Amino acid sequence: MKHPRPLEGVVIVELGHSVAGPYAGLILADLGARVIKVENPKHGDYARDWGPPFWGDTSSSFASLNRGKESITVDFADPEEAAALRRLILDKADGVIQNLRPGILDAYGLSAAEFRKEKPSLIWCDIGAFGANGPMARKPGYDPLVQASSGIMSVTGEGNRPPVRVGISLVDMGSGMWAALGFLASFIARMKQGEGAQVSTSLFETGLAWMMIPLAGYEAAGDVRKPYGSGVAEIVPYQAFETMDGWLMIAAGNDNLFRKFCDVLDRKDLTIDPDFVTNSARVVNRERLIPIVAAAVARFEADELGRRLDAVGVPNAPLLGVEEVAHHPQTKALDLNSPCDDNLSLVSIPISFDGVRPRTSRRAPKLGEHNANFKSGT
């Protein structure tokens, strides 16, 4: 079956750099859009130099976020080049994605308001740092700054230890997802009404959205729970435990699963202890229960315990490293990580249509690789 390309014929101009804007562009490119990436002619997207590791002359980070796109270079300060970019957007673009610093585009007459005045059907997606309003609206921001300021770091790691950031660009990539979702919603609305929209999101708003459950807990109870490493504050036992030969993540997420878990551990006594019978009781008495469970788990090898838990339906999974995930049979079965035309294997977007995964397999472009098309107007 041919890969589905629902956005085939749609043109996106990406005024993006680093992670958030490019990830939004990557999502739309995998869905079939033609994504034209606009870069600074002197250095391009700074992510090109985020290495080692490199693949050829560009970083693997840049390659993963920008496959399937075209690259043109534009000097905003050059009136002719800025005018050519304006024509490209007005003549060809269905949408623009931008995550440049506040004020840059306005300084060169390339603002959303100017474009949408001339082309009301244009869908313009802004990805900011701290949002369009408020005391931090003009402040530049990056993923770790927002992980810090949105509270994510406060619920990550272990209590009474130094702050820990989530090890991936969770906020950047989440913001890119929201921008892509905003574009798609606006694109559907435009098909009905003929009008585009200015879509706005930001890293800080995304961080707050990821903090939905902890913030709800604070509003409901007025207290702040400390982080529990691999565990969560609201469910016990729901964390990684060390076996004889490795770590196993075990999610006994309700009372029935807890009883089955205890049966496997040969600790049925825990299921009749009033301090542990219900999840709410286990949460209150976490500090007493977890050492007991940890000691019981430590008697098993990881594979053996995993098989026993699988047999009774208790959710569990081994903790895998990057190299193990890359070669895991489940990864291979899903065909999520596959090579581009330069033989670098990269992860696709995690969605399928009728069992078929949309994906562009073109490698990431070289800086300015498609300038000839840009200058000729194609």
Q: What is the pLDDT of residues 251-267, one digit of tens each?
A: 999 999 999 999 999 99
Looking at residues 27-56, what average pLDDT do you find?
96
- pLDDT band for 160, please (50, 70, 90 cuts): confident
137 and 200 Cβ atoms separated by less than 8 Å:
no
Looking at residues 303-325, what average pLDDT do you find?
97
Query: Which residue in the block uniquely carries the two structure tokens 């009474």?
Result: 160
Phi, psi (5° rounding) for residue 235? -135, 135
Residue ranges of E strands in 204-294: 238-242, 247-251
Q: DSSP character for 283? A: H
Q: CA-to-CA distance for 119 and 125, rounded, in angstroms?
A: 14
- pLDDT band for 2, please (50, 70, 90 cuts): low
What type of residue sits at position 257? L
**pLDDT score of 375:** 81
- pLDDT band for 378, please (50, 70, 90 cuts): confident
In the chain, where the domains are located: 11-210+350-376, 238-323
For residue 320, pLDDT beyond 80: yes
Fold of 238-323: formyl-coa transferase, domain 3 (3.30.1540)
> What is the SS3 string spanning 298-355?
CCCCHHHHHHHHHHHCCCEEECCCHHHHHCCHHHHHHCCEEECCCCCEEECCCCCECC
Q: What is the pLDDT of residues 192-215, one digit of tens each?
A: 999 999 999 999 999 999 999 999
Looking at residues 150-161, what average pLDDT do you find?
92
Per-chain mean pLDDT for the chain:
95
Catalytic residue positions, numbered: 172
**pLDDT score of 140:** 87
Question: Dmax over Cα atoms in the chain, in whole Å?
Answer: 79
Q: What is the pLDDT of residues 77-112, one digit of tens each?
A: 999 999 999 999 999 999 999 999 988 999 999 999
- pLDDT band for 1, please (50, 70, 90 cuts): very low
- Positive or negative: CA dihedral 185, 336, 33, 89: positive
**pLDDT score of 3:** 61
Percent of the chain with pLDDT over 70: 99
103 and 112 Cβ atoms separated by less than 8 Å:
no
CATH hierarchy code of domain 11-210+350-376:
3.40.50.10540
Instruction: Check for a shared fold between 11-210+350-376 and 238-323.
Output: no
Looking at residues 308-317, what average pLDDT do you find?
98
Torsion of CA 63, 65, 68, 70, to 10 degrees: -90
